[in-house]
């Protein structure tokens, strides 16, 4: 046990004051940064793009690969 528990790690009072001042400055700097980012206006959201539906994708594939028409239904094709 140490003789004076109020002085952690055997620091002098001047050293404790100096480390406390550093912490206060860092805290204030972080707080200013947080306030600065909170005050900036949010970026404008991009416009929503048209997302392709499943039916549109099937139509594109049917046009591109006509021999695969109707494969998505899962029924066997009738061949004469």
pTM of the model: 0.33
Residues 70, 71, 72, 73: what is their CA dihedral angle, to the nearest 10 degrees?
A: 70
How many domains are there within the chain? 1
pLDDT (tens, 9 = 90+) of the chain, 80 residues, equals: 455 555 567 888 888 788 778 788 888 888 888 888 877 776 777 777 788 899 898 889 889 988 887 776 776 656 55
- Does residue 7 sit in helix, strand or coil? coil
CB 33 within 8 A of CB 25: no
Task: Retrieve residue 45's tokens.
Answer: 């959201």
Query: Is residue 12, in this structure, part of any structural domain at all?
Result: yes
Query: Is residue 79, in this structure, part of any structural domain at all?
Result: no
Q: Which domain holds residue 19?
A: 8-39
Greatest Cα pair distance, the chain, in angstroms, is: 103
Query: Is residue 69, in this structure, part of any structural domain at all?
Result: no
């Amino acid at each position: 046990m140490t003789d004076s528990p109020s002085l952690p790690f055997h620091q002098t009072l001047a050293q404790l004051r100096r480390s406390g001042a550093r912490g206060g400055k860092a805290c204030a700097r972080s707080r200013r940064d947080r306030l600065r980012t909170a005050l900036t206006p949010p970026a404008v959201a991009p416009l929503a793009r048209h997302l392709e539906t499943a039916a549109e994708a099937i139509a594109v594939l049917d046009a591109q690969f006509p021999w695969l028409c109707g494969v998505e239904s899962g029924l066997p094709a009738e061949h004469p």
